[in-house]
Structure 1
Amino acid sequence: MHISSQFDSGNIKVISADDASNIRLAINKDHQSDFYQWFHFKLHNNQRCEHVLTIENAGQSAYVEGWHDYQAVASYDREHWFRVPTEFDGQNLTIRFAPEYDAVYFAYFAPYSYERHQDLIHNAQLDIDCQLQILGQTLDGRDISLLKVGEEGADKKVIWLTARQHPGETMAEWFMEGFIDRLLDEDDGAARALLNKAVFYLVPNMNPDGSVRGHLRTNAAGVNLNREWADPSMENSPEVYLVREKMLATGVDMHLDIHGDEALPVNFVAGCEGIPSYDQRHRSLEDNFKAILLAITPEFQDVKGYEKDQPGQANLTLASNWVGEQFKCLAYTVEMPFKDNELLPDHSVGWSDNRSSLFGRDMLTAIYRIVDDLR
């Protein structure tokens, strides 16, 4: 029996693996950080018996509530991911699974590899409406890549989407893949109409270093990028610094920052009602956008979510709050579940890579419906 995580986004520590019925594991912390929750590893064993894998430090992870009613995902081919029986006793996360083949991968959510990220951005640049730009490099020397879709114009709205500030939230890049695929579809009427009215700036992966390292929440320096927007630096958070500089150069009429939430089993958005400049126009834009999403897809809801900030009490180190205040624009954090969408449960795959991608496609319709009101 062999257990390995020496690959892109891999993360696990083997305590002992002498017996298939008692495999003891632990999740490694993000580099220079106490955050941990993301795991991704391969089990290779030709025994067809039940394997009992216990992650013994789950009870001290970043979001312990995320383990309740959670099921891990597994795959034989790294393309099709399915849920496997998983239990949490308050300390140990235990996966019970009898493999049908010699090797099986386990992960916290369907991984989105750096290689697939490269395929996404380089295939997108082949479209006549798309330009691939490099804003600079991360601390590990990887490109901070931006897709510009459409042309600027005096009457054109400027719409930004950023994703995966927290690298373990891989559903965010699956979302972006679906969004980009639809936006570049020349046969899609909503996409064509949008590009007549807006130019898009898209960052599918804000944190490529953390993604490759197998981090949950931080970059190569152990910095949480979504707490850097008020005062980023090239030394600690070049990813935010360079994206923010580009935003200041282009202006922003709308911004969606795409994330995943460990605990809540629903899709929802978090607005910037606590920023100092929040007013009735801002509230109307937010309310209208949520109403549009509710009408478009049953995957979205507006009952469960984060507690709203009190007036003037927003944390301006968060992307959506900083952008909403800086540009006086519609700025939302979009959250998807690691578990399942309890409104439309799927016991086989839960909330998944494919459902995230479809939600991204739906989001384009919502933007189309509100684009005329953004400025």
Structure 2
Amino acid sequence: MHINSVFDGGNIECISAREAGDIQLAIRRDNESDFYQWFYFRLTGAMDQACKLNIVNAGDAAYPDGFNGYQAVASYDREHWFRVETTFDGSALTINHTPLADSVYYAYFAPYTMERHFDLVHDALASPLVDSVCLGQTLDGQDLDLLRVGFPGENKRKFWFIARQHPGETMAEWWMEGFLDRLLDEDDPVSRELLKRAVFYVVPNMNPDGSRRGHLRTNAVGANLNREWIGATMARSPEVYLVRELMKEVGVDFFLDVHGDEALPYNFIAGAEGTASWNDAKETRQKNFEKALMEASPDFQMEHGYERDAPKSANLAKATDYVAETFGCLSMTLEMPFKDTIDSPNDIEGWSPERSRQLGRANLTALYSMRDQLDV
């Protein structure tokens, strides 16, 4: 038997793999950071053996409560990911699985590699609606890609969508696949009408370095990008700095930051209620968007989510609060689960890439329902 994670997005350390029933593993920390929770590795040579894979440092991970009720994912082909029996005793996370092949992959959620990201950008560029903008380079020297969808024009709104500030939240880029697929479908009447009104600025992956390195939450030097929006610099967080500068140049009329949440088994919105400029009109617009999204997708709900920020307690280092206060627009964070959704469970796959893609598509329906409110 052999354990390996030396590949795009991989993360695990093998302590011992002498016996299938007692494999000892540990998750590596993000570089220059105490964050860790993301894992992605390959097991070979264990076909038809009852394997017990013990991730011994899970209890000290960034969000250990997220492992309660959680089931890891596995795949033989890295295309179809299914849930496998997983237990958590407060200290170790144990995956119990008998592989049906001599090569099997395990992960915290279905990975979204940088290679797939390149395919996503390339496929989008096949559309005449899309211009690709390389905003600059990350600290590891990777390109930071922005896709501009639609043609600028007088009175056109500027809609911004970003994903994966936290690289281990791979469901966010799966969401982007569905969102872009529908937005670029010239036969889709919702997309056509939205592109008459707005230009879309889309950053499918805000954190290429963390994605390739197998990080949970930070970039190459341990910066949590969603705490960098006030003081971003090219030396520490060029990803945020470059996006923020283009926002200042072109403007923002709508903003959605797509994430995943380790603990909560729901899809939900977190808003900018703590900003100093929050008022009844902004409250109404956000609630209307949430209601429209719930109508568009039964996988979305409004009952469960984060506690609202107290008035004027916003942290402007966070993207949603920074954009809301700087540009005065409807600015929100969309969260998806690492687990299954309680309200609409899928026993085989849990929350999955395909369900993330479908929620991305549904967001365009919600946006279309809000079109007149976003014109003011």
Per the shorter chain, which TM-score range? over 0.9
Aligned residue type for 1:134: C
Work out the CA distance in 1 between the residues paired with 2:52 and 2:284. 51
TM superposition shift of 1:230? 1.1
SS in structure 2 opposite 1:177?
Answer: helix
Deviations 1:219-277 (A, max 9, x none): 00100000000110000000000000010111001000000000000000000011011
Aligned residue type for 1:153: G
Aligned match of 1:44? 44
Aligned match of 2:144? 144
Q: Is residue 49 of structure 2 the alignment partner of residue 53 of structure 1?
A: no
Aligned match of 2:324? 324
Superposition pairs for residues 32-181 of structure 1, below 5 Å? 32-181=32-181
TM superposition shift of 1:71? 0.2
Conserved? CA contact 1:75–1:81, under 8 Å: yes
Work out the CA distance in 2 between the residues paired with 1:179 and 1:228. 26
Conserved? CA contact 2:268–2:301, under 8 Å: yes
Conserved? CA contact 1:273–1:314, under 8 Å: yes
Work out the CA distance in 2 between the residues paired with 1:297 and 1:140. 38
Aligned match of 1:284? 284
Aligned residue type for 1:264: L
Deviations 1:289-320 (A, max 9, x none): 01111211110111110110111101111000
Aligned match of 1:355? 355
Aligned match of 1:228? 228
Aligned residue type for 1:161: F
Tell me the percent identity.
57
Work out the CA distance in 1 between the residues paired with 2:24 and 2:14. 6
Conserved? CA contact 2:274–2:308, under 8 Å: yes
Q: Is residue 298 of structure 2 the alignment partner of residue 301 of structure 1?
A: no
Deviations 1:4-38 (A, max 9, x none): 00000000001111000100000000000000000
Work out the CA distance in 2 between the residues paired with 1:260 and 1:47. 32
TM superposition shift of 1:154? 2.2
Deviations 1:152-184 (A, max 9, x none): 122211100000000000000000010000000
SS in structure 1 opposite 2:275?
Answer: coil
Aligned residue type for 1:102: D
SS in structure 2 opposite 1:181?
Answer: helix
Conserved? CA contact 1:60–1:91, under 8 Å: yes
Work out the CA distance in 2 between the residues paired with 1:79 and 1:149. 28
Q: Cα–Cα, structure 1 residues 47 and 290, in superposed 2: closer, same or farther, change >3 Å?
A: closer
SS in structure 1 opposite 2:371?
Answer: helix
Conserved? CA contact 1:157–1:371, under 8 Å: no
TM superposition shift of 1:125? 1.1
How high is the TM-score relative to the length of structure 2?
A: 0.99
Conserved? CA contact 1:12–1:25, under 8 Å: yes
TM superposition shift of 1:355? 0.4
TM superposition shift of 1:368? 1.0
Conserved? CA contact 1:159–1:199, under 8 Å: yes
Aligned match of 2:194? 194
Q: Cα–Cα, structure 1 residues 196 and 47, in superposed 2: closer, same or farther, change >3 Å?
A: closer
Q: Which runs of 5+ in 2 are unaligned?
A: none
SS in structure 2 opposite 1:131?
Answer: strand
Conserved? CA contact 1:122–1:132, under 8 Å: no
Work out the CA distance in 2 between the residues paired with 1:264 and 1:315. 22
Runs of 4+ residues deviating >2 angstroms: none
Aligned residue type for 2:361: R
TM superposition shift of 1:47? 4.0
Length, aligned pairs only: 375
SS in structure 2 opposite 1:245?
Answer: helix
SS in structure 2 opposite 1:14?
Answer: strand
Aligned residue type for 2:23: I
SS in structure 2 opposite 1:148?
Answer: strand
Deviations 1:106-165 (A, max 9, x none): 000000010110010111112111001100000000001000000112221110000000
Aligned match of 2:271? 271
Aligned match of 1:261? 261
SS in structure 2 opposite 1:371?
Answer: coil
Aligned residue type for 1:30: D
CA RMSD of aligned residues (A): 0.7
Work out the CA distance in 2 between the residues paired with 1:274 and 1:306. 13
TM superposition shift of 1:46? 4.3
Work out the CA distance in 2 between the residues paired with 1:151 and 1:311. 38
TM superposition shift of 1:69? 0.2
TM superposition shift of 1:371? 2.1
Work out the CA distance in 2 between the residues paired with 1:89 and 1:229. 37
Aligned residue type for 1:283: E
